[in-house]
Structure 1
């Protein structure tokens, strides 16, 4: 009689890599759901379980070998006129290479904040000497303006111009829009830094504020 490990080995041999990743992540989520129900009395609908699993998998979708993924986001503190910038770089195996957190005094306009965050993220990437990048953010308007190389004489256009100029210095680049649920690590970084002064950089490690997001995918 075949054991569980034998059955799973045969199953994985039949599935594509993406299907194995989805199965593994969903299995982990099901086990977590069971524990939450037993020990906390919390119930998660199965449909939501699948939805969250696929979103998490999309967030940490691996880049082609030799290409790094750069996710950015911004948070705004309107009361104190501050903007938090968050960026995370992962390699083609999904490992965190570096993170950036910046707290800046700035007029708290959401679009302006997102453009500043995108600019500081790509400059950070360039300063690390990396040459191939997939840039991802959840600010659709900013992503579209970069993709269309849309520049004007406003302060918004100036940021976009600098972003495009920096991207042009790379050997390979692309900019993609992703949903907010797929950009949680970068958002957590941008929000965390609002309570900190100046700049915080972590290389080949990641700060406590994104441990839950990174650990979740590492269990796949």
Structure 2
């Protein structure tokens, strides 16, 4: 079981959406990160977002998404799917974000291990994650 989570922020870094889900799959940590990117892209599109700046604390995955690294792995297949999916957006970029700025997304993903259903909160998050989200916002600015 892997947990995937995401946070969508607006241009002033306020919360627009949080989402999480537990997925029953056996995979490497890199593949789990790639699955989380696919999860985020799909939900962002479904929410009507068309311009994205996607951040991940997995540098290897970001390099794969940017096209500067390729490897023979299941993660690469998921990355190719993610890159293909970006064509439906007006704009989509991928950037590395150190874990210190991305603790909330990790916490949301970890908490999703307790449930397999999709949980989406618009302009909100669960109370246990709020202090971390606010801390991440302070670290980003």
State whether structure 2 residue 10 is matched by structure 1 residue 91.
Answer: yes
Q: How many aligned residue pairs are there?
A: 138
In structure 2, C-alpha distance between the alignment counterparts of 1:215 and 1:116, rounded to whole Å: 25
Once the two structures are TM-superposed, the CA of residue 215 in structure 1 deviates from its matched residue by 3.9
Equivalent residue runs for 1:127-206 within 5 Å = 127-148=46-67, 154-206=73-125
Q: Is the 8 A contact 1:189 1:209 kept in 2?
A: no
Once the two structures are TM-superposed, the CA of residue 184 in structure 1 deviates from its matched residue by 0.6
Structure 2 length normalisation: TM-score? 0.88
Q: Is the 8 A contact 1:150 1:160 kept in 2?
A: no
In terms of fraction of residues, the more helix-rich structure is: 1
Change over 3 Å in CA distance of 1:149–1:123 after alignment to 2: farther
Runs (5+) with no aligned partner, structure 1: 1-81
Match of 1:101 in 2: 20
Match of 1:123 in 2: 42
Structure exhibiting the larger radius of gyration computed from Cα positions: 1
Match of 1:212 in 2: 131
Higher relative contact order (CA 8 A, sep 6+): 2
